[in-house]
Structure formats: structure tokens, C-alpha cells
Structure 1
Amino acid sequence: MHTTVGIVGGGPAGLLLARLLRLRGIDCAVLESRDREYVERRQRAGILEQATVDVLRACGAGARLDREGLVHDGIELRFDRRSHRIDFPSLTGGRRVTVYAQTEVVKDLTALHLADGVPLLFEAAVRAVEGAEGDRPVVRFEHEGRERTLTCDWVVGCDGFHGVARAALPEHVRHTYERTYPYSWLGVLAEVPPSCEELVYAHSPRGFALHSMRSPAVSRLYLQVPNGTDPADWPDERVWDELAARFAVDGDWTLERGPITSKAVLPMRSFVTEPMRHGRLFLAGDAAHIVPPTGAKGLNLAVSDVTVLARAFAHLARTGSAELLDAYSDTCLRRVWRAEHFSYFMTTTLHTDPEQSPFTTRLQLAQLDRIAASPHAAAELAENYTGLPLE
């Protein structure tokens, strides 16, 4: 097999990149190690920035998003038994966010690929990426019990933190920056209509809580828990009682309860690999960077990466110049570090460290008070949350 751009990983980053390249007339192939059912059921992020929605619409993946996505004009912060709403459009010049699960984005993009006939191989386990420093990289993979190779002009690793692409960067050129947080999230899906119209982020002496949603009939909720927590230690009643305690405010508000259909513990970490390119190998999405989910940036950063990369490949095809490809890593890292900072800010402001002092708690409350009182502070949060313009 040979193609112009070999894409390792069939999650949202790899699928969107393939779609953008296809629309520009650039050959590509996607190799995904998991089966289609697994990929389309992987529970991940569900908040799409305005720019992400615009990209999906422009590439033809916006029809179901526009029908089923839940457009939100703000979020609610709860702290010290008080509530404050951040209004996005008034603070950002009209930008909003849309609740639409990553699983649905993957389904939409997969359907487009299969209809177009773009090579998309599931259960194609990539074993190695070789020759990135030459002019004809090779991707070695196993598919249907056979060892196979894909030669490419370029390779893009969209295979996540544990994939082979990032490991293919030589150690002497690869620099990593990371932070592991002393807490995790217990995430639950519940068959109950959301108790709120927009997301609720709660700072509490008992720990952080988030009320989100998947649809008008399904709620998605999170609790800060210690690292190493076993979901089995959290029966449904305990989950609902703890959520109610952390969301509590003075005034009338009730947390609706219902059957919990899934529970999972998500670790919290920040991670960046630099550079995001070596030779003819590029990294995108979680292969290059991870953010804690508090800032809702993971999927949106992946979309930004592949949008920049698709534009660079198109520029090369049109002009013969690799200047945008050469600038790819620096261009993306500016946005990555901005998103890392915002995610760190949201995480450390809203969560309670197990060893946190009363002094630190008062600093958190002072910061939340400033956001509630200052249009400038609120605008800074709103601009970062809804997403900076794509470069």
C-alpha cells in the first residue's frame, strides 16, 4: 500500500484530518487498531468550541450535529453556596459552545469516510513507524492476521498517548512536560433529564463536581475522587447523595435522580510533547498533548491541530512550498500551551487538593469572587472556554 498521507489512529483527529485532506484532493489512508464498534462507543469529551463546530459544518459533518447538538450560551459556577452564570455571547462577541459527544462526532466522520471510499482500516494494529527522517516513511501494521506495510510521503500520528507515533520521535529530540494531579474524576451516565439548562461547575469543601449532559434525556455527571478509586465503592445512592451535597446552593434547586448506566474513573493529567513534528512524522491530538477535562479542551485542540495540518498539506500541494508544514509545531504549540494554562487554571481553582490548606481555599474563593464580580475576569474565562480563533 502507498498513499500521500498515512494517518495512524481513527479517532476524531485522524478521521477529521482524512476528511479535510479528501476535500482538498490529497490521498490518505487511516489505520485504526480497534474495531469500529469500540471506536464509536468510546466515551470522551462532549463540549465543542465554536470553531470546532464551524470546521465540522464546513467539511460536511454538521447535519446531525445541528439537529441534535445542544447549544449553550454559558456555564454556571457554584461556590460558597452561591451561583453565578457566565454569559458567553455577551462576553465574547457572540461565541457559544455545543454539547455533542465525541462518540457522535466519530460516527458522523466514519459514515462520511465509508461513503466516500477513503481507505479506513479497523483492527489494523500499527507496530512501528520507520524512516521518518527520509523521504518515504513506512508504517508497519497487522491486519486480518497478516503483516503489512504502508509507505507514505508523510505520516501523522493521531493514535493517542499510548500509541506508537509519539514513541517514534527519537529520544534526543523529544521533550515532554507533564503534571499529574492528586485526584481523579468519577464519571457517571444517568438516564435522567438534566437538572440544569447549562453545565454547572461546583467548588465545594467536599471536592469538585460537574453537571453536564449528553441529551435532553441523559445526564453526564462527575465527582472529584481520590486517585485509585474503585467505582464499585460508589453505589448509586452514594453518588447521588454526594452530588447533591456538592451542588447545594442557598435557594430552590433540586438534583434529579435516575438510573446510573455506567461509571468510570478518569485520571487527571497535563502533558505536552515538543516538538510535534520530526522529519516527515507529525503528531496531533492526544499523541502530542493531554489536558485535564475541566477546561473542555482535549477534542477541540485535536481539531485545531488537524485543521492547521490540512491547510499546510494543501499549501504544499498547491505551491510546492513546505513553509506551513515547517511551521506546524510552533503554530500548534502556541494554542496548546494556552489551553494547558486555561485547563490548569480551571482545575486548580475548582478542585480541592487532599493536602490543601485553608489559606489556599480562601485564595480559590477569592478568584471565583473576582470572576463573578469583574466583567474583565469573566470575559477571560469565557474567551478561553468558547475557544480562541483558529490560526
Structure 2
Amino acid sequence: MRTQVGIIGAGPAGLMLARLLRLAGIDSIIIENRSEEYIYNRIRAGLLEHWSADVLTEIGVGERMAREGVLHWGNYIGINGELHRLDFQKLVNKRVTIYGQQEVVKDLVARRRADGGDLLFEVDDVSVHDITSERPTIRFTHEGKAKEIACDFIAGCDGFHGICRPSFPEGVLKVFEREYPFGWVGILTESPPPDHELIYNYTDRGFALYTMRSMSVARLYLQCDHDDDIANWPDNRIWDELHTRLGGARELKEGKMLQKGITPMRSFVAEPMQYGRLFLAGDAAHIVPPTGAKGMNLAFADVVFMSRALSAFYKNKRTDLIENYSATCLRRVWKAQRFSWWMTQIMHRFPDETAFDHRRQLAELDYLTSSEAASTSLAEQYVGLPMD
């Protein structure tokens, strides 16, 4: 098999990249080790920054999002049950869109099929070779047969546990990471969310987040111990704690739980994001705690930068954008890491905090919700910084 860009991973990053390359007249092949059914049922992020939703529309995959997505022009910061609304429209005149990652994936796969592009699921034994040459290759097995893709470039969009990042030679990568001393109990439930906008709720009992996948399906989270077991959280305990932490500020209706689990909290960045003709994008290169809602949006930003670099190479023989790909992405990645860390530390109770830490945190929340300058700063970052 021969193509210009071999893409490993059919998540949001890989599928978005393939569509961007298609529009630039660049051929690609996507391979994915999971099944098609699996990627459609993998419940992940559900918030699109202003520019991300606009890009999906511009590249021809925003029709269903426009019908089914929920526009948010603000959100709420709760402090022990007292809610303070941040008006994004007034502060920065931008919004976010609630539309599940799995729905984005479905739309991108449908577009890929309509384009007639190669997309192979359930591949095994994936490996990359000759990544410092002008003809790197991807080897794998599909339907029991050994296959090889000869390409000009390889895009590693295969997630945190993929094979692309470990394929960098020893000593090339530098890893920066932080583990947080808590996690989130998360549920998906057939019930309306307590408000039509997100509620980020700080309480002395711990953080709670009230969000949604639609106005009839709520996505709700509770701060828990980092080593907690979901067996310790029967349904009644989860609902009781969600009601308690909301503090009566809104009515919380209970419904059938469709899913529940514990999400760990971590920050991770691998530098550089490229080596030879192999590029990393999305979770293959960085993980953010979900508090800032940046994961899928960062993956999209990576592949927008990558598609620009590859387009400049093929159209004008330029190599500067390729050479600067890692630095360009990391500038945005670290801003998103900073924001996600800040949102996490301001909203959660830490097990080792002192009385001073507690009072300082309450003062910071008071400042955030009473200062237009502070609220504007949060809103600017939450809806998405401008693409460079």
C-alpha cells in the first residue's frame, strides 16, 4: 500500500486530520486497532471550543452537530451551593458547544466513507519503521494478513497507550507529568441536567460537576479518593452526594444510570511531538485533567497545525512548518495544561491542604466570581484561545 500520510488511530485527531488533508488534496490511509463499534461507544469528552465547532462546520461535518449540539454562552461557578454565572457572550462574545466525542467520531467516519478514503479497523501488530528516512513505513496485520504502508509521513494519533510515542528512540523524549490525589466518580444518566449550562461546584465536601450529553441525558461527576473503587459507590450514595453538593441551588432529577466509573486525574506532556517523519497528536503526546475540557480540542489543534505543515510541504516545498510543528503545538498545549491545572486546583479539596490553603482557595473563588477581569480571563481560556 502507498500513500502520502499514514495515520495510526481513528479517534477525533486521526479522523479530523484525514479530512483536512483530503481538502488540501493530500492522500492518507487510516488504521485503527479497535473495532468500529468500540469507537462509537467510547464515551469521552463532550465540549467543543468555539473555534473547534466552527472548524467542524467548515470542513463539512457539522450538519448533525448544528441540529443536536447544545450551545452554551456561559457556565456556573458554585461555592458551597451558591451559584455565580459567568456570561461568556458578554465577557468574550464566544460560546462552547456540547456534543459528544463519539458523535463527532461518527460524523467524521461518515465523511471519510463518503470521501472514499481508506479506513481499516481491527488491525493488529502495528509498528513503524525508517521514520528518519524519506519513506517511513507502517507494518500491521489485518484480517490475518501482513500488510505494509509506504508513506511520506506518519501521524501518530493512537492515544496514550499507542505504539507511536514508544517508537521514538531512547533519550529523545522528555516527559512532564503530575498525578492528582483524587479522581472523579462519573455517571451517565437518563435524566435532565439540573441547568441548561454546566455547573462547576466547589464544596467543603469536594468538587462536583453537573454537565450533560443532551438536555435529557446528564453527565455528573463527584470528587473521590484517587485510589477509590467504584464498588464503594452504589447508586444511592452517588445520588445522595450529588444532591448534597448541589445544596439545593437547582433541582436534580434522578434517572436510570447508563454508565458509571472512576476517572483518574493526571497531567502529561511528552516533548518533542515529532521525530523524523513521525508526528504525535492528541493523547499520544499529552493528557490534561478533564476539569478544563481541553482534551479533544487540543487534539484538533494539533492536527490543524499538522495539516498546515504538510500542505505547505506538498504545495510549496516548504519545510519550516514541519520543523516547527512540535514547538507550535506545545505552545498551545502548555497554555491548556496551565488552565486545566488552575481549574483543577481552584475547584477541588486537596487531602494535604492547610487551613491557610482553604481560606486562600475560598478567596480566589470569591475574586473569580466578583471580578470582571478574572471572569474574562477564565471565559477567554474556556471557550478556546485563538488559533495561531
* Superposition TM-score, scaled by structure 1 size: 0.97
Residue 200 of structure 1 corresponds to 199
Residue 144 of structure 1 corresponds to 143
Residue 315 of structure 1 corresponds to 312
C-alpha separation between the residues in 2 aligned to 1:390 and 1:169?
Answer: 28
C-alpha separation between the residues in 2 aligned to 1:228 and 1:189?
Answer: 21
* Aligned partner letter, 2:324: A
Alignment of 1:1-391 (within 5 A): 1-92=1-92, 94-248=93-247, 253-391=250-388
Quick check: 186-195 or 97-106, which moved more? 186-195
Q: What do residues 325-361 of structure 1 show as CA deviations (whole Å, max 9, x unaligned)?
A: 1111111110000000000000011011122222211
C-alpha separation between the residues in 2 aligned to 1:253 and 1:164?
Answer: 45
Q: 1:195 deviation in Å?
A: 1.3
Quick check: 28-37 or 168-177, which moved more? 168-177
Do 2:201 and 2:209's aligned partners in 1 also have CA atoms closer than 8 Å? yes
Question: Secondary structure of the equivalent of 1:245?
Answer: helix
Do 1:8 and 1:126's aligned partners in 2 also have CA atoms closer than 8 Å? no
Q: What do residues 58-99 of structure 1 show as CA deviations (whole Å, max 9, x unaligned)?
A: 11010000000000011100013321111111111x110000
Q: 1:149 deviation in Å?
A: 1.3
C-alpha separation between the residues in 2 aligned to 1:253 and 1:51?
Answer: 30
C-alpha separation between the residues in 1 aligned to 2:135 and 2:350?
Answer: 49
* Aligned partner letter, 1:230: D
C-alpha separation between the residues in 2 aligned to 1:224 and 1:246?
Answer: 10
Q: 1:115 deviation in Å?
A: 1.6
Q: 1:145 deviation in Å?
A: 1.3
C-alpha separation between the residues in 1 aligned to 2:59 and 2:81?
Answer: 44
Question: What is the aligned-residue identity percentage?
Answer: 51
C-alpha separation between the residues in 1 aligned to 2:357 and 2:61?
Answer: 44
Question: Secondary structure of the equivalent of 2:312?
Answer: helix
* Aligned partner letter, 1:277: Q
Q: How many residues align?
A: 388
Question: Secondary structure of the equivalent of 2:212?
Answer: strand
C-alpha separation between the residues in 2 aligned to 1:63 and 1:11?
Answer: 19
* Structure 1 unpaired stretches of 5+: none
C-alpha separation between the residues in 2 aligned to 1:150 and 1:362?
Answer: 58
List structure 1 segments (4+ residues) > 4 angstroms apart after TM superposition: none
Q: 1:236 deviation in Å?
A: 1.3
Do 1:31 and 1:125's aligned partners in 2 also have CA atoms closer than 8 Å? no
Do 1:7 and 1:30's aligned partners in 2 also have CA atoms closer than 8 Å? yes
* Aligned partner letter, 1:288: A
Do 1:79 and 1:202's aligned partners in 2 also have CA atoms closer than 8 Å? yes
C-alpha separation between the residues in 2 aligned to 1:124 and 1:59?
Answer: 27
Q: 1:173 deviation in Å?
A: 1.3
Q: What do residues 185-206 of structure 1 show as CA deviations (whole Å, max 9, x unaligned)?
A: 1110010111111000011111
* Aligned partner letter, 1:209: A
* Aligned partner letter, 2:294: K
Q: 1:169 deviation in Å?
A: 1.2
Question: Secondary structure of the equivalent of 2:94?
Answer: coil
* Aligned partner letter, 2:178: R
Quick check: 351-360 or 365-374, which moved more? 351-360
